[in-house]
A and B are shown apart, each in its own frame.
Chain A
């Protein structure tokens, strides 16, 4: 199971805990899309390479 966490803003403690717990027993990747240039090609590649995608607040 590969899980992609897209971060739309800096994660607070609650979100960090959710990410940690949902990533257990999974290969996980966090991709922030705030405050920096986003490589949308890479983002699309990772979205479709992952089994589950969560776009956090």
Chain B
């Protein structure tokens, strides 16, 4: 049975692992929200490709960093709103 899963990524050096994990969860039909917090992503080719898969698989990408919203299409969110989202998700993974 699929679960609602929140993946939290706060460090740039974990950005790609967190993204890969989010994608893996989506491919097994979980409902995934990925939150990139407090840093602008570094858009490598691999990151861009996998980020596009996240969108195709209907995962949701949120960030509290405006550069991620403006440049890379993340949905804007505040840390207060993130906290509320964490309540809604059955599984929370601080990656």
Which A residues fall within an 8 A CB radius of B?
A: 14, 17-18, 21-22, 24, 52, 54-57
A56 to B6, CA, bound (A): 13
Interface string of B28-48 (1 = CB under 8 A from A): 000000000110000000000
Which B residues fall within an 8 A CB radius of A?
A: 10, 37-38, 79-80, 82-84, 86-87, 90, 92, 94
Q: How many A-B residue pairs have CB under 8 A?
A: 30
Q: Which secondary structure dominates chain A's binding surface?
A: mixed
A22 to B87, CA, bound (A): 6
A56 to B8, CA, bound (A): 10
Q: Are A56 and B94 in contact (CB under 8 A)?
A: yes
A22 to B94, CA, bound (A): 14
State how many angstroms separate the Cβ of B4 from the closest Cβ of chain A: 11
State how many angstroms separate the Cβ of B15 from the closest Cβ of chain A: 14
A21 to B79, CA, bound (A): 11
List 22 interface pairs A-B (beta carbons < 8 Å), by A numbering: A14-B10, A14-B37, A14-B38, A17-B79, A17-B80, A17-B83, A18-B79, A18-B82, A18-B86, A21-B80, A21-B83, A21-B87, A22-B86, A22-B87, A22-B92, A24-B87, A52-B90, A54-B86, A54-B92, A54-B94, A55-B94, A57-B94
